[in-house]
Amino acid sequence: MTPTLYWKDGFVEMLDQTRLPTAVVYQTCKDADTVARGIKELWVRGAPAIGVAAAMGMALGAQGLPEGREFQQGLERIGAMLISQRPTAVNLAWAVRRMQAFARSLEGQPVAAVKAAMVAESQRMLEEDAAICRAIGKAGAHLLPDGGVLTHCNAGALATGGYGTALGVIRAAVEAGRALAVFADETRPVLQGARLTAWELMQDGIDVTLITDNMAAHTMKCGRIHAVVVGADRIAKNGDAANKIGTYGVAILAREHGIPFYVAAPLSTVDFSMASGAEIPIEERDGREITHVFGTTQIAPDGCKTFNPAFDVTPAKYIRAIITERGAVAPADLHRLQDPDLDATPWLVK
Amino acid sequence: MTPTLYWKDGFVEMLDQTRLPTAVVYQTCKDADTVARGIKELWVRGAPAIGVAAAMGMALGAQGLPEGREFQQGLERIGAMLISQRPTAVNLAWAVRRMQAFARSLEGQPVAAVKAAMVAESQRMLEEDAAICRAIGKAGAHLLPDGGVLTHCNAGALATGGYGTALGVIRAAVEAGRALAVFADETRPVLQGARLTAWELMQDGIDVTLITDNMAAHTMKCGRIHAVVVGADRIAKNGDAANKIGTYGVAILAREHGIPFYVAAPLSTVDFSMASGAEIPIEERDGREITHVFGTTQIAPDGCKTFNPAFDVTPAKYIRAIITERGAVAPADLHRLQDPDLDATPWLVK
């Protein structure tokens, strides 16, 4: 398994995912600014992995801060800087706030101890995330029948602390003996499906076939897709789910072909403060992502206008179930997962 | 206007569309085999332009044939060779058969005269096609309201003898004073939208914004698309329409958003011998088109499996009207256009 990011000698080693699949290169992040750059420039991407990266960025940034009031103020400043890198994934702000609250909870302890504890806490978040992904996989594996499964973008080990959300469900189903043929949308413009999902599944020996995004409808019509499972960057309280651009279209196509559409995500991706997906901010990125593949191969005329939204929102009505570490639920039941003391859960999607 | 192909000094100059938009390069075709290669390797593409190219290929091939029975036999052989290059566009076989019938109609004339007449006939087909495109434009312009128009692939001047089918409708609407904002799907894997449609419309000063294929759904949801118009490679008698891969998905998305979806094509694209689209053969092309942009920029892992259908079929139920040189009709009325003596046409889509 190629780790997405890890601590080494007091610094954060971050897999530069923009170089995959033809090169495995790590960037050494010695400060929070470099982590921020990695988030902005997509060395690391995927809502859960961005959250872990931000936590590590907070811990890195803490190392250079002085004692006293300036310590908490510094964490505020670094957190705001990290959060400003990308607007859509809620895990980014969630992780920053968790690290800030953690540091506040240690107030009064020697600053060196707080700094060391923050490093350990960010490492714990990485491990927690991988464990949550395994729980998501377990909660969703039974939903995938033998046959074709379509996924969009990369919600895999590379997008998380390990194992993956959507790909976690796929991995768990394969581990449970299911015979799956995965179809991966290439996911333009940044090609996370071609570069990351295909690569990750091939490394695990899971059967995967790459298609361009616009082939999904025809592949469904050919009867080769029996379920769709994707990740999410932010889910509103009503179950509307923001995910990589193109997800909304896939959801419509799935419904038109009578194919169940699942969203797999940790509860940290659910923003219970947002009533619906209409409130989720959608990041627009530089049009050069569209006009130049990998920033170099020009595919469009000079000066061509573009529209480059990085995400879209899939309304809850298209989603059969949201698969979380606490079980798979219909979007209408998502709010029930706020209750920390679940016991009877007759509403779980079996 | 950059011509798609033309006669020069007894040879066919063919615009190598694989080099657009960064280079305007013509390939000189001195024989039918080179024309066939151009069809296979997508120097020329688009059903009507493929038809014209095949006609020119027949005329070129005729030049080297001996007199007598072997002349017609040679035309049979060259025609079969040309038709075998691509299976989906019906215009290819249509043009070959038209040239064969034309040659047969001249039997008894000196072979040199027949050869010259075939060159002239192929040139006439080019001019006819451009005229047909203008008629299509006139028949469909009133269907586009002020606002956003989405198109997929390239059904423009580059795909025809000139002016275009889908882009002909757009051009005619602009000429009629409509304020259009065109959105062009980039159309992976061969990127005809990014490379050709954006280029062609920019050359004409028509407002165009490039999006990736998977952005169409979100762009529709944002209220920026008010009509969709695409071309076709083959239309069955019931109105089912084969067109570039991705078209079927766009049609589903359009219906889900209440946006009218139009197909623009000459009657030579209608295959009245096919009852429905289920019979239309769908070409599968080399997976390297997906894994390597322009054959060189690798975007997927070595050895990655692919599925690369070049076309899909949009069922008639998603199509508001088919726009032909004889008017725009609902798919259910398409069969009426077989009648060469139309007078009352109350069923035209106004």
CATH for A47 = 1.20.120.420
Structure token pair of residue B35: 């024309």
Question: Is the CB of residue B221 less than 8 Å away from at least one CB of chain A?
Answer: yes
- B277 Cβ contact list (under 8 Å, min separation 6): B236, B238, B240, B241, B242, B313, B314, B315, B316
* Run of H or E residues at B298: strand B297-298
B188 in A contact zone (CB under 8 Å):
yes
Residue in A233, A240, A271, A312 annotated catalytic:
A233
CATH label of the domain that carries residue A326: 3.40.50.10470
| A350 CB neighbour count, 10 Å cutoff | 9
Best A206, A212, A233, A283 member to test B by mutation, with max B CBs in 10 Å, is A212
Q: What is the pTM (predicted TM-score) of this model?
A: 0.94
Torsional sign, CA A56, A59, A64, A65 = positive
What is the reported pLDDT for A349? 76
Q: Could you give the C-alpha distances from A140 to A114, A181, A264, A314, B126, in angstroms and in order?
A: 38, 17, 8, 19, 57
- pLDDT by residue (tens digit) across A243-252? 999 999 999 9
What is the spatial distance between Cα B26 and Cα B11, in angstroms, rounded to a whole number?
A: 12
- Among the candidates A83, A107, A134, a domain finishes at A134
Contact B11, B29 (CB under 8 A): yes
- For every residue of B271-287, DSSP letters joined together read ETT-SSGGGS---B--T
CA atoms of A155 and A165, how far apart (whole Å): 6
Q: Are residues B241 and B330 in the same domain?
A: yes
CA A161 to CA B139: how far, in whole Å? 57
User: At A342, is the pLDDT very low, low, confident or very high (cuts 50, 70, 90)?
Assistant: low
| pLDDT at B134 (0 to 100) | 98
Tens of pLDDT along A186-200?
999 999 999 999 999
pLDDT of residue A345: 64
Q: Which two tokens stand for residue B102?
A: 């034309």
Contact B208 A305 (CB under 8 A): yes
Exposure of B199 by Cβ count < 10 A (0-12 exposed, 13-18 middle, 19+ buried)?
buried
B214 → chain A, closest CA residue: A246
Averaged pLDDT, A306-313: 98
Amino acid at A79: G
Q: Give residue B342's pLDDT.
A: 64
- The candidate with the shortest Cα–Cα distance to B63, out of B15, B5, B12, B129, is B12
- The pLDDT assigned to B87 comes to 86
Domain stop point among B134, B162, B179: B134
- Provide the pLDDT for residue B155: 97
Q: Are residues B88 and B152 in the same domain?
A: no
Q: Judging by DSSP bridges, how do beta strands B5-8 and B11-15 pair with one another?
A: antiparallel
A-B contacts (CB, under 8 Å):
188
> What does the block give as tokens for B232?
């076709």
Contact B153, B243 (CB under 8 A): yes
Both B65 and B190 in a single domain? no
B289 with B319, same domain: the answer is yes
Is the same domain home to A298 and A162? Answer: yes
Q: Is B187 on the interface with A (CB under 8 A)?
A: yes
Nearest-5° Cα angle at B163, B161 to B169 = 130
Please name the residues in contact with B202: beta carbons below 8 A apart, sequence gap of 6 or more: A301, A303, A304, B208
Strand partners, A300: none
d(CA B200, CA B336) in angstroms, rounded, equals 33
What does the pLDDT read at residue B88? Answer: 86
Mean of pLDDT values over A65-80: 96
A209, B15, B126, B229, B341 from B196: Cα distances, Å: 28, 12, 19, 16, 37
Put simply, whether A288 touches B (Cβ < 8 Å) is: no
Q: What is the DSSP letter of B65?
A: P
Query: B230 is written with which tokens?
Result: 């695409």
Contacting residues for B128 by C-beta, under 8 A, at least 6 apart:
B161
Q: Are residues A292 and A313 in the same domain?
A: yes
Q: In the structure, how many helices (H) and strands (E) does chain A have?
A: 11, 17
**Which residue in chain B is spatially nearest to A182 when comparing CA positions?**
B305
User: Could you give the ipTM of this predicted complex?
Assistant: 0.94
3-state secondary structure of B291: helix
pLDDT, tens digit, 9 for 90 and up, residues A108-132 = 999 999 999 999 999 999 999 999 9
Nearest Cα to Cα of residue B50 among B113, B121, B118, B129: B129
Contacts of B282 in chain A (CB under 8 A): 218
Residues B115 and B233 in one domain: no
- Written as one string, the DSSP assignment of A65-124 is PPSTHHHHHHHHHHHHHHHTT-SS-HHHHHHHHHHHHHHHHTTTS-HHHHHHHHHHHHHH
Relative orientation angle of helices B47-63 and B111-140, to the nearest 10 degrees: 170
Nearest to B301 among A199, A212, A308 (CB): A199
Residues of chain B with pLDDT under 50: none
Q: Tell how strand B305-306 and strand A227-230 pair up.
A: unpaired
Cα separation of B27 and B12, whole Å? 8
Mean pLDDT of all residues belonging to chain A: 95
Q: Is the dihedral of CA A119, A125, A128, A130 positive or negative?
A: negative
Same domain as A118, residue A152: no
- How high is the pLDDT of residue B344? 54
The tokens for A106 are 């240690």
Catalytic residues of B: 233
Shared domain for B289 and B173, answered yes or no, is yes
- Note which residues in 299-318 of chain B have CB less than 8 A from chain A: 299-309, 312
Of the candidates A185, A218, A297, the beta carbon closest to that of B293 is on A297
Q: How large is the average pLDDT for residues A12-40?
A: 97
Q: Is B146 helix (H, G, I), strand (E, B) or coil?
A: coil
- Report angle CA B31, B37, B40 to the nearest 5 degrees: 145
pLDDT digits (tens, 9 = 90+) for B325-338: 999 999 999 999 98
CA-nearest residue to A220 within chain B is B249
Q: Are residues B180 and B311 in the same domain?
A: yes
Rounded Cα gap, residues B345 and B336, in angstroms:
9
Confidence of residue A346 (pLDDT cuts 50, 70, 90): low
Per residue, what are the HEC states of A172-216? HHHHCCCCEEEEEECCCCCCHHHHHHHHHHHHCCCCEEEECHHHH
- Contact list, B292 vs chain A (CB under 8 Å): none
Residue A300 CA: distances (Å) to CA of B158, B167, B206 = 15, 18, 16
Q: Which residue of B has its CA nearest to A153?
A: B214
For residues B199 and B305, membership in a common domain is answered with yes
Question: Whole-angstrom Cα distance, residue B338 to residue B332?
Answer: 13
Q: Is any Cβ of chain B less than 8 angstroms from the Cβ of A21?
A: yes
Residues A154 and A300 in one domain: yes
Written as six digits, the tokens of A242 are: 């923001």
Supply the pLDDT for residue A154.
Answer: 97
Residue A88 confidence (pLDDT): 86
Does residue A97 have a pLDDT over 80?
A: yes
- Domain of B45? 5-134
Q: Look at residues A111, A134, A157 and tell me which one is the last residue of a structural domain.
A: A134
pLDDT (0 to 100) of residue A212: 98
Note the pLDDT of residue B343: 59
Considering its fold, how many domains does chain B have in total?
2
